[in-house]
Amino acid sequence: MNDLHARHRAVLPEWLALYYGRPIEITHGEGRHVWDADGNRYLDFFGGILTTMTAHALPEVTKAVAEQAGRIIHSSTLYLNRPMVELAERIATLSGIPDARVFFTTSGTEANDTALLLATAYRRSQQILAMRNSYHGRSFSTVSVTGNRAWSPTGLSPLQTLYVHGAVRTRGPFAGLSDAAFTEACVADLEDLLGHTRDVAALIAEPVQGVGGFTAPPDGLYAAFREVLDRHGILWISDEVQTGWGRTGDHFWGWQAHAENGPPDMLTFAKGIGNGMSVGGVVARAEVMNCLDANSISTFGGSPVTMAAGLANLGYLLEHDLQGNARRVGGLLIERLRAIGAAVPAVREVRGRGLMIGVELVKPGTDEADPKAAAKVLEAARESGLLIGKGGGHDTSVLRVAPPLSLTVAEAEEGASLLEHALRSI
């Protein structure tokens, strides 16, 4: 393992982050568990950053991948592709967007990049609204709309980005307000911001911020924003890279918690749909999707193999009601973690919905974020046999808990106990 770590550092960028003081090599998985090269078994509560959404080595997906690979692996979008059309049909229907069109990419970064291209071309404007504390990817355009300085390495940008209040409920100048007053204040802030600019192309927003620490506004906030946006002709892009496919339990998409004024103009997705395969994409109403006046293709987006994986995974998810499982088991897990957090002074808040849970750590007796404590808990959890993630603003003090959606009640209880042990160890 030390040899592989040394080889990694010799040929890969320094900024390519690795978890743990002694990084692990994951060699195989099954269900909600993975094993490392030393034979250690872990309960996986992070799923490769919310990407192994259904289960490790899900037979339905591995069979579909193998069968498609045995026929043809690649053709590009220059040719008709039956699995791509079939998956696009299903996603268009599930999106809730009328007269929807779907464009497949290989990642969430590329999906958001495409959405920004469409918005700026459609509106003939390079101005974008984004939320504070947000994360939208690592490309040149997506880091420029990322409101989290830890993940935005350059101030140079092809876009002019204006940041809006509202995505972080329990911190900031409006934290002490009721939900209704919080929404009213954020809408007033948006109105004021738009009074100082013009011709904004779009608002891009995560319904639940992922890298930002699983923070979310009160339900209905983006619906209230939508009323303002519509008056100005501004598009709404819902970044569903981490919230899509039923992870929040209550809804299939995160935008549905803000649905009073209908679906977004565009939504982006990635992470879990391929259950580990590289699948991302954009759904937009036809008028927006078809606005480009230049040729375009995708070499790897919509690959027959990844589309076969997406079809099999989506079918399994719907047939087994994994959204409902996320709601039921996730609800139990959140309540269990809240009970644990109430007895641990370092825990400021346990938040989330479904199987998308954040545990925010602070220095006891204060509201000051404690990233060192989060790093220690991450290590202690790994030593106990539990893999979790971390994130949260610029301080990285939030433990991120996001198991595969097929998590059982027994596994939720086991993971909660392991995390409790890790929290108490610091």
Is residue 173 classed exposed, middle or buried when 0-12, 13-18 and 19+ CB atoms within 10 A define those classes? exposed
The mean-pLDDT minimum among 24-33, 134-143, 217-226, 391-400 falls in: 391-400
CA atoms within 13 A on the CB side of 395: 14
Mean pLDDT of 137-146: 93
CATH of the domain at 210: 3.40.640.10
User: What is the secondary structure of 227-247 as a DSSP string?
Assistant: HHHHHHT-EEEEE-TTTTTTT
Question: How many whole angstroms separate alpha carbon 388 and alpha carbon 419?
Answer: 9
Question: Amino acid identity of 292?
Answer: L
pLDDT above 90: percentage of residues in the chain? 95
Lowest mean pLDDT of 81-85, 194-198, 236-240, 262-266, name the range.
194-198
Taking 90 as the threshold, does the pLDDT of residue 154 lie above it? no
Label residue 186 exposed, middle or buried (CB < 10 Å: 0-12, 13-18, 19+): buried
Which pLDDT tens digit goes with each residue over 232-259? 999 999 999 999 999 999 999 999 999 9
Q: How far is CA 359 from CA 368, 371, 373, in A?
A: 14, 12, 12
Measured in whole angstroms, how far is the alpha carbon of residue 215 from the centre of its chain?
11
Domain count, the chain: 2
CATH code, domain with 37: 3.90.1150.10
Cα distance between residue 296 and residue 287, in whole Å: 17
The pLDDT, as a whole number, for residue 1 is 65
Q: What is the model's pLDDT at position 315? A: 98
> Which of 284, 319, 354 is where one domain is finished?
319
The predicted model scores a pTM of 0.96
The pLDDT tens digits for 47-75 are 999 999 999 999 999 999 999 999 999 99
Domain end residue (candidates: 319, 354, 385): 319
State how far the Cα of 121 lies from the Cα of 413, in Å rounded to an integer: 49
Residue 393 confidence class, pLDDT cut points 50, 70, 90: confident
394 vs 136, which has greater pLDDT? 136
The mean per-residue pLDDT over the stretch 5-22 comes to: 95
| Residue after which a domain boundary falls, among 269, 303, 319 | 319
Q: Structural domain of residue 77, as residue ranges?
A: 62-319
